[in-house]
Structure 1
Amino acid sequence: MKNRLHKWRLLSLFAMIALILSGCGKPFLSTLTPAGEVAQTQFDLMVLSTAIMVLVILVVTVMFIYVIFRFRRKKGDENKIPKQVEGSHKLEIIWTVIPILLLIVLTVPTVSYTFALADVSPMEKKDKDGKTKDALVINVRANLYWWEFEYPDEGVITSQDLVVPTDQRVYFNLKASDVKHSFWIPAVGGKMDTNTDGENQFFLEFDGESAEKVKNQFYGKCAELCGPSHALMDFKVETKSPEEFDQWISDMKSAKAPKAEDGLAKQGEEVFNKSCIGCHAITPNDSRPEQARRAPNLSNFGERSKIAGVMDHSEEDLKNWLEDPEKYKPGNKMTGTYGDLSSEQLDALTAYLMDLKVENK
């Protein structure tokens, strides 16, 4: 008896913990606070399917409890055989039609929304220069363990920070350069795989009011197990009004390679040009082919809020990352690159990188 009571206590405790944790989460990283057309559609389907399941469970539970009490064995009826009901056409029709109706209720909107969310036809409308006419297209390339975002019609490339306008559809071409990954912004829409042997396409829409509530910042993640640092493959999403986004694109297109002026940063620029420039670019209008872009674009590194997507943006954390990237992101391709740098060179390189910002000239 004591063992049973103990097990029930543990079960009750775990149930309470699960209930509490189900309410945890942050609005910029939660599927339960939809912040766009796609997220709201998927959330509505989730609510509908959950409601149907709960309804079925409740009906079955009520019937089960009713049968237990209504037809339980009573004293004096041990040898009495109740009336046997077999082959009732009415019952068979009822328990066949009801599930069919429930499936129809769930299937019709699911199929309808599936086709609607898969419509990327605006991406195919090109002007005479080969640019997309009426849609913003972003090429997303997933790498071990970082993200690249290319705005092909604008000639702009960023890494780790995705910048998008609010209240309009943004179309994505998704691919991977090494292994399969998955692009996912939980609060804005469901995940989509990035493959090495083909492109996936879909669209998202970022609601302006929802974006203001989270200070115009969402977070995205890789949702496909891709290696030892899969859980650390994050990126930031910054939302802007359409007017602010146009200004940002203009600034990025006209940006030039920064020139270090401070003595320490000047030394860091020399270190960068010897050790880093082969993989990293420092201008957002990088014209190198995709194969040459083997590491994140650092043009706006000084303006970021995270280092490597997961570390605080501080000089101390940047030095820690440069000294031992493997410690913070196991399996990343930068491991071992900066092992021979002295502490003075690390200080100089840190000063230079923290000063990298987009300048409109």
Structure 2
Amino acid sequence: MKKLAKWRLFSLLALMALILSGCGKPYLSTLQPAGEVAQRQYDLMQLSTIIMVGVIAVVTIIFLIVVFRFKRKDEQIPKQVEGSHKLEIIWTVIPILLLLVLAVPTVIETFRLADVSAMDEVNEDGKTDALVINVRANLYWWEFEYPNEEIVTSQELVVPTDQRVYFNLKASDVKHSFWIPSVGGKMDTNTDNINKFWLKFDSKGAEKANELFYGKCAELCGPSHALMDFKVRAVPSDEFDQWVASMQGIEEPIQPETALAQEGQDLFNQSCIGCHAITPNNASPEAARVAPNLTDFGDRAYVAGILENNEENIKKWLADPETLKPGNKMSKTYGELTPEQIDALTAYLMELKVQK
């Protein structure tokens, strides 16, 4: 009975694992591809899984046939088949064919997905027709620069759907890895070289994800590695163009509308401005930035990439960033704020919106 109970428990756990393996959200799951790259990688994964499961099934069937059909019943020695050229050819050729079935599409897709030649094609204006974004990974935040559009933002990547977006990836401090699970596989960001790749965000997939995908750091980089998140707003091309125009229209810091926000701006200019920029054209492509650009902070969905953007969470972050994201640089560079200062800064940050 005890053995039966253990088998029942094992069966239940196996069933739960099978069911949970199919769970996932459209904004985060690799099993719900929302882009051309993700779909191709998913197709390769399906192909390899089918082949592996097929091999396991065939071997298992052969094993069971041998165990039951050729079970020794007497002292008679069965016919020996060692040295059979036919069998040796069969079990040599079949694995080779299976490897070719796996290798050929994998190599083809590897070279196809690595094609970033469009990033080098420059037009008469000295810019690329392709949308290029420079990604810089930092402990523990992300910066996104659009060189053709001459704007910089942080923590929330904005991209158009149904067109290829090319990325230059680099790290400021230690190795990180740029990954948007639903849209494409990860790629490392290094301090000594620039990695390049492209992604395409599917409009139907973006609709299922409410136009907001989750991005992750996929390389262990420090105590807050698991919290080094960013968000991706995938919007139709016309909305993306509107966002770009809105960002380009911000030449001076956004002026506060309330007295409390004005107090926050004064406080921000006394200390925070030393690390944070509040205009989208704050630096050149090769300059390392100290802290996230906050130009459109009020438009973003999340605070620090991990908290829903609302007044309560902004105050939590300003009051104690070290508890929420251990090891972040902000904790080491600013002093303790009073409740009044936190209220003023929060009011100011919430008014930093480029899209009214």
Deviation (angstroms), 1:316: 1.5
Which residue of structure 2 aligns with residue 137 of structure 1? 132
Q: Which amino acid is 1:101 matched to?
A: L
- For residue 28 of structure 2, what is the aligned residue in structure 1? 29
Could you give the per-residue CA deviations for residues 137-189 of structure 1, whole angstroms, max 9, x where no partner exists?
00000001110000001101110110001111000000000010000011110
Following the alignment from structure 1 to structure 2, what is the Cα–Cα distance between the partners of residues 199 and 292? 14
Percentage of pairs with the same residue: 70
Write the letter of the residue equivalent to 2:232: V
Q: Is 1:320 aligned to 2:316, yes or no?
A: yes
- 8 Å Cα contact 1:184/1:223 also seen in 2: yes
CA distance in 1, matches of 2:204, 2:121: 29
Match of 1:356, SS?
coil
Q: In structure 1, give the amino acid aligned to 2:230.
A: F
Match for residue 59 of structure 2? 60
Is 1:306 aligned with 2:311? no
Corresponding position of 1:357: 353
- Could you tell me which amino acid in structure 2 is paired with residue 350 of structure 1? T
Classify 1:64/1:297 alpha carbon distance in 2 versus 1 (closer, same or farther; 3 Å): same
Cα offsets for 1:79-117 (capped at 9, x unmatched): 222222210000000000011111111111000000000
Which residue of 180, 184, 187 maps to 2:179?
184
Aligned residue among 195, 199, 208 for 2:194: 199
Deviation at 1:260, TM superposition (A): 1.6
Give me the whole-angstrom Cα distance separating, in 2, the residues matched to 1:167 and 1:30. 19
Give, in whole Å, the separation in 2 of the partners of 1:289 and 1:170: 18
Alpha carbons 2:175, 2:190 under 8 Å: kept: yes
Number of aligned residue pairs: give it. 355
Deviation at 1:128, TM superposition (A): 4.2
Which residue does 1:277 correspond to in 2? 273
Deviation of residue 11 (structure 1)?
2.4
Q: Secondary structure at the match of 2:213?
A: strand
Q: How far off is 1:229 after superposition?
A: 0.6
Residue 92 of structure 2 corresponds to 96
- 8 Å CA contact 2:170, 2:195 repeated in 1: yes
Distance 2:283 2:124 in 1: 21
1:238 matched to 2:233? The reply is yes
CA–CA distance in structure 1, aligned partners of residues 333 and 310 of structure 2 = 20
Corresponding residue for residue 333 of structure 1: 329
Shift of 1:291: 3.9
Residue 72 of structure 2 corresponds to 73
Q: Please say if 1:263 is aligned against 2:254.
A: no
Q: Which residue of 2 aligns with 1:14?
A: 13
- Tell me which residue corresponds to 2:205: 210
**TM superposition shift of 1:284:** 1.4
Q: How does 1:140-159 map to 2 (within 5 A)?
A: 140-159=135-154
Matched, 1:161 2:160: no
Asked if structure 1 preserves the Cα contact closer than 8 Å seen for 2:26 and 2:32, the reply is yes
Structure 1 stretch displaced more, 255-264 or 116-125? 255-264
TM-score by length of 2: 0.96
C-alpha contact (below 8 Å) 2:144/2:153 kept by paired residues: yes
Q: Work out whether residues 299 and 355 of structure 2, in 8 Å CA contact, stay in contact via their aligned partners in 1.
A: no
Moved more, 249-258 or 333-342: 333-342
Match of 2:289 in 1: 293
TM-score, scaled relative to structure 1: 0.95
Long gaps (5+) in structure 2 = none
Q: Does structure 2 conserve the Cα–Cα contact (< 8 Å) formed by 1:161 and 1:236?
A: yes
Q: CA RMSD in A?
A: 1.5
The Cα offsets for residues 272-316 of structure 1, whole Å up to 9 and x where unpaired, read as: 011100100111122367545210011111111111100121212
Conserved in 2, the CA contact under 8 Å of 1:322 and 1:338? no
Three-state SS of the structure 2 residue aligned to 1:173 is strand
Taking structure 1 as reference, are residues 348 and 308 closer, same or farther at Cα in structure 2, changes over 3 Å only? same
CA distance in 1, matches of 2:132, 2:118: 10
Look up the SS of the partner of 1:244 in the other structure: helix
Asked if the contact 1:252–1:285 (Cα under 8 Å) also holds between the matched residues in 2, the reply is no
1:23-43 per-residue CA deviation (whole Å, 9 max, x = no partner) reads 211011111111111011000
In structure 1, what residue type is equivalent to 2:14?
A: A
Contact 2:145–2:285 (CA under 8 A) maintained in structure 1:
no
Corresponding residue SS for 1:99: helix
Aligned to 2:274, the other structure's residue is in SS state: coil
Q: 1:50 maps to which residue? A: 49
* Equivalent AA in structure 1 for residue 38 of structure 2: A
**Distance change >3 Å, CA 115–CA 34, structure 1 → 2:** same
Work out whether 1:84 is the aligned partner of 2:80.
yes
- 2: distance between equivalents of 1:227 and 1:86? 57
| Contact 1:323–1:338 (CA under 8 A) maintained in structure 2 | no
| Maintained 8 Å contact 1:147/1:160 | yes
Question: Quick check: 1:324–1:339 contact (8 Å CA) kept in 2?
Answer: no
Whether the 8 Å CA contact 1:234–1:309 is kept in 2: the answer is yes
Cα 1:16–1:153 change in 2 (3 A) is same
Deviations 1:161-219 (A, max 9, x none): 10001111000000000010000011110000000000000000011122112221111
CA distance in 2 between counterparts of 1:248 and 1:317 reads 25
1:229 aligns with 2:224: yes
For 1:248 and 1:303, how far apart are their aligned partners in 2? 11
Inter-partner Cα distance in structure 2 for 1:336 and 1:38: 39
